């Protein structure tokens, strides 16, 4: 009698926000980057993807449901992940004939984020990391997170960093086959648990300079990019690892801001130029510099991914200085966890015009901080009989 059982595994995976940025591929097919990068994994209490991977011979084909909508699985990146994971499962099955032949069964993957897509956060890293981790758990693969990061990387570059919690490096590697381009953990979240992140979700504004396929356009046209890759990022990687090792926030902040500025500078040096920062982004940059200047010490750092949303890192002990200064401008914005407490904090500087612009452009804040890596979940988005279900949102 044929095995029509539905096999399942569920995992959550986190978002990560780089402090040394990935931008540019040296191999577009294998998703091999031109430089190493480093990120902070954010708490899954605030931002996470929940993914259930299931397989059964009763399913008719591989499917993927993202936030309730069918997604295309025919793309080369998704197919590469399926192929790599099945091949590893298949190797186990060959060695142990008693194992069910999961590698031959269609997969049904269902995935949901606990934050609205409208938040404008790149959820692909969390999504791909959860996707790979869930299938690896379903297949009971013995691979380490670093080994799995090789697969996630092929799905979405920065996803490889979401396979770990805490502080994570993606080593660019040197080999042509990409076998050394993987993520490793620089430090556990518990090594420096007080790292907070305040994400300002800003109005998109008017996007005048298209960003599609911008990464490879930068590689092809920016003379400054080559210098960033060869001479700037290696120094940032080393300094950032030292800053994390020493829990040196001033150093962490300087490298974070320098690296974000350097990355966006190479975007601007692209032809045609790519400009992600808008008036609200500029206001956040100004606010952070005003804050640090007024405090007389480094209390906050900004960074921007390929978009306009500022992510402001700050150490927990500086909550009063940072949140106490930003909250008055943004008190009407949704997303604050402890509004009354924040309202009672003392600002170190009046942001004036800069605060008014932030008030106009910030639609929502997300208060979060460093967190753990993917975690097995007992919440399933595929029922025992194989039916997709909706999780609590």
Residues at the site binding a second copy, with contacts judged by CB under 8 A: 205-206, 208-209, 221-224, 227-228, 231-232, 235, 254, 257-258, 261-262, 264-266, 268-273, 275, 277-279, 282-283, 285-286, 289, 353-354, 357
Q: How far is the CB of 306 from a second copy (least distance, A)?
A: 15
How many C-beta atoms lie closer than 10 Å to residue 269's C-beta?
Answer: 17
Q: How far is the CB of 348 from a second copy (least distance, A)?
A: 17
Rounded to the nearest angstrom, the gap between the alpha carbon of residue 96 and the centroid of all alpha carbons in its chain is: 36
Q: Which is nearer to a second copy, 254 or 318 (CB)?
A: 254
What strands lie across the sheet with 311-315, from one edge to the other?
301-303, 311-315, 195-202, 362-369
Q: Which is nearer to a second copy, 5 or 258 (CB)?
A: 258
Cβ neighbors of 273 (< 8 A, separation 6 or more) are 209, 267
Q: How far is the CB of 385 from a second copy (least distance, A)?
A: 50
Cβ neighbors of 227 (< 8 A, separation 6 or more) are none
Q: How far is the CB of 177 from a second copy (least distance, A)?
A: 31
Q: How far is the CB of 40 from a second copy (least distance, A)?
A: 20
Tokens, residue 335: 């997303």
Tokens 């997170």 appear where? 145
Q: Which is nearer to a second copy, 275 or 367 (CB)?
A: 275
Q: How far is the CB of 227 from a second copy (least distance, A)?
A: 4
Q: Which is nearer to a second copy, 105 or 239 (CB)?
A: 239
DSSP letter at 297? Answer: S
Tokens, residue 212: 């599609």
Q: Is the dihedral of CA 272, 236, 33, 285 positive or negative?
A: negative
Q: Which is nearer to a second copy, 94 or 293 (CB)?
A: 293
Q: Which is nearer to a second copy, 116 or 205 (CB)?
A: 205
């Amino acid at each position: 009698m044929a095995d029509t059982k539905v096999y399942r595994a569920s995992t959550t995976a986190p978002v990560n926000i780089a402090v040394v940025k990935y931008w540019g591929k040296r191999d577009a097919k294998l998703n091999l980057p031109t430089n190493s990068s480093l990120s902070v994994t954010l708490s899954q209490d605030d931002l996470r993807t929940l993914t259930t991977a299931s397989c059964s011979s009763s399913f008719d084909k591989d499917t993927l449901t993202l936030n309730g909508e069918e997604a295309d699985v025919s793309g080369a990146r998704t197919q590469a992940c399926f192929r790599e994971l099945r091949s590893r499962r298949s190797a186990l099955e060959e060695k142990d004939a008693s194992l069910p032949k999961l590698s031959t069964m269609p997969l049904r993957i269902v995935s949901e984020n606990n934050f609205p897509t409208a938040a404008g956060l790149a959820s692909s890293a969390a999504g791909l990391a959860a996707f790979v981790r869930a299938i690896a758990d379903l297949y009971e693969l013995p691979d380490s997170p670093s080994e799995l990061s090789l697969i996630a990387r092929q799905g979405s570059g920065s996803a490889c960093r979401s396979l770990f919690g805490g502080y994570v490096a993606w080593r660019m590697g040197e080999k042509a086959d990409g076998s050394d381009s993987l993520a490793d953990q620089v430090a556990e979240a518990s090594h420096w648990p007080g790292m907070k992140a305040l994400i300002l979700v800003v109005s998109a504004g008017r996007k005048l300079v298209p960003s599609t396929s911008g990464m490879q356009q930068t590689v092809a046209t920016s003379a400054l990019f080559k210098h960033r890759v060869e001479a700037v990022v290696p120094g940032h990687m080393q300094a950032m690892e030292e800053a994390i090792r020493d829990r040196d926030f001033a150093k962490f902040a300087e490298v974070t801001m320098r690296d974000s500025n350097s990355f966006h500078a190479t975007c601007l040096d692209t032809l045609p130029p790519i400009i992600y920062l808008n008036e609200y982004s500029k206001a956040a940059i100004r606010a952070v510099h005003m804050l640090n200047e007024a405090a007389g010490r480094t209390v906050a750092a900004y960074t921007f991914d390929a978009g306009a949303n500022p992510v402001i890192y700050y150490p927990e002990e500086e909550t009063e200085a940072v949140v106490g200064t930003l909250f008055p401008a943004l008190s009407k914005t949704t997303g604050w966890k402890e509004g009354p407490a924040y309202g009672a904090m003392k600002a170190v500087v009046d942001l004036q015009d800069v605060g008014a612009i932030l008030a106009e452009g910030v639609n929502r804040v997300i208060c979060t901080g460093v967190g753990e890596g993917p975690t097995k979940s007992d919440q399933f988005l595929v029922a025992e009989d194989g039916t997709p279900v909706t999780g609590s949102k």
